């Protein structure tokens, strides 16, 4: 019977490996997605700042041209002031001159704002590109390993299933059925060792007499509290 118990323990290890591999089908893509998402977020921020920088420079250039045009008009109107003959012409020119001066002043203020945006975007772009390069560099090997692991999952699972099939051929049907039922009911551990004179699953103390019988390995014992199969390991 001890051989059966050892086989059940070995079977449990295989089942745990299969379970972990199956869970990897979920968390590995999530990990890959998180890494790619981090890179994509940085790339998006870079693209947005580059767009903002380009638009600000373009707008600044256009305003500078508008200022030059207004300055040319201003110079022209100021020359005309020397040759006007009527108050009506004078008032009209003064209005145009004031308008040009105000537009020049407003546009110069706008250029200062745009220069601030350009400086801010330039600085931020440098930091973002540095972060992106660092992120790509630090995650490259990890990402490649995750993808390799993803690609080998099915073969690993199939290999474990093959091992399982070979092992259960030699396990007593009744003991195997008990194992499967307990494992399903407990959602995992069906066979647990005695640790410090207690069940390794629920930690309830095991009576000394029962411990001695389990140690002999003549038959299968289950914990009175949690129902798991108890086994004695030499390290205890």
Has residue 225 been placed in a domain?
Answer: yes
Asked if 68 and 164 sit in the same domain, the reply is yes
Residue 235 — pLDDT band, cuts 50, 70, 90? low
Has residue 13 been placed in a domain?
Answer: no
Domains held by the chain: number: 2
Q: Measuring CA to CA, which residue among 229, 219, 224, 221 is closest to residue 190? A: 229
Q: Out of 171, 202, 220, pick the residue that ends a domain.
A: 171
Asked if 186 and 96 sit in the same domain, the reply is no
What are the CA-CA distances from residue 47 to residues 56, 128, 221 (Å)?
14, 10, 66
Has residue 16 been placed in a domain?
Answer: no
Has residue 1 been placed in a domain?
Answer: no
Has residue 4 been placed in a domain?
Answer: no
Are 234 and 215 spatial neighbours (Cβ–Cβ below 8 Å)? no
Residue 213 — pLDDT band, cuts 50, 70, 90? very high
Mean pLDDT of 121-135: 96
Asked if 132 and 27 sit in the same domain, the reply is yes
Cα 214 from Cα 233, distance rounded (Å): 10
Q: Checking DSSP bridges between strand 229-231 and strand 191-195, what pairing results, if any?
A: parallel
Are 178 and 216 spatial neighbours (Cβ–Cβ below 8 Å)? no
pTM assigned to the model:
0.68
Residue 83 — pLDDT band, cuts 50, 70, 90? confident
Has residue 15 been placed in a domain?
Answer: no
Q: Examine the pLDDT at 205 and tell me if it is beyond 60.
A: yes
Q: Examine the pLDDT at 236 and tell me if it is beyond 60.
A: no
Has residue 10 been placed in a domain?
Answer: no
Q: Which domain holds residue 167?
A: 21-171
Asked if 213 and 106 sit in the same domain, the reply is no
Asked if 154 and 195 sit in the same domain, the reply is no
Q: Residue 221 gets which letter from DSSP? A: E
Has residue 76 been placed in a domain?
Answer: yes
Asked if 74 and 187 sit in the same domain, the reply is no
Asked if 161 and 218 sit in the same domain, the reply is no
The pLDDT tens digits for 165-200 are 999 999 999 999 999 999 999 888 999 999 989 999
Mean pLDDT of 81-110: 93
Asked if 52 and 128 sit in the same domain, the reply is yes
Asked if 110 and 222 sit in the same domain, the reply is no
Asked if 136 and 50 sit in the same domain, the reply is yes
What pLDDT, on a 0 to 100 scale, did the predictor assign at position 82? Answer: 87
What pLDDT, on a 0 to 100 scale, did the predictor assign at position 38? Answer: 95
Q: What is the CATH number of the domain that holds 144?
A: 1.10.287.1490
Mean pLDDT of 71-93: 91
């Amino acid at each position: 019977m001890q051989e059966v118990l050892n086989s059940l323990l070995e079977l449990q290890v295989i089942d745990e490996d299969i379970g972990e591999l199956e869970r990897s089908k979920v968390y590995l893509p999530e990990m890959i997605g998180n890494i790619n998402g981090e890179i994509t977020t940085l790339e998006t921020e870079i693209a947005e700042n580059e767009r903002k920088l380009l638009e600000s420079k373009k707008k600044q250039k256009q305003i500078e041209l508008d200022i030059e045009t207004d300055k040319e008009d201003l110079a022209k109107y100021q020359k005309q002031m020397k040759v006007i003959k009527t108050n009506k012409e004078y008032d009209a020119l003064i209005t145009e001159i004031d308008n040009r001066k105000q537009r020049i002043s407003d546009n110069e203020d706008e250029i200062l704002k745009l220069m601030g945006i350009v400086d801010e975007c330039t600085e931020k772009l440098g930091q973002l590109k540095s972060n992106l390069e660092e992120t790509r560099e630090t995650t490259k090997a990890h990402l490649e390993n995750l993808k390799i692991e993803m690609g080998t999952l099915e073969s690993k699972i199939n290999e474990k299933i093959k091992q399982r099939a070979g092992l259960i051929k030699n396990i007593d049907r009744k003991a195997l059925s008990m194992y499967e039922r307990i494992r399903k009911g407990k959602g995992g551990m069906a066979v647990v060792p005695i640790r410090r004179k207690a069940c390794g699953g629920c930690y309830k103390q095991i009576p000394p007499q029962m411990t001695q019988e389990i140690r002999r390995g003549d038959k299968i014992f289950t914990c009175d509290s949690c129902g798991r199969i108890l086994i004695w390991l030499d390290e205890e």
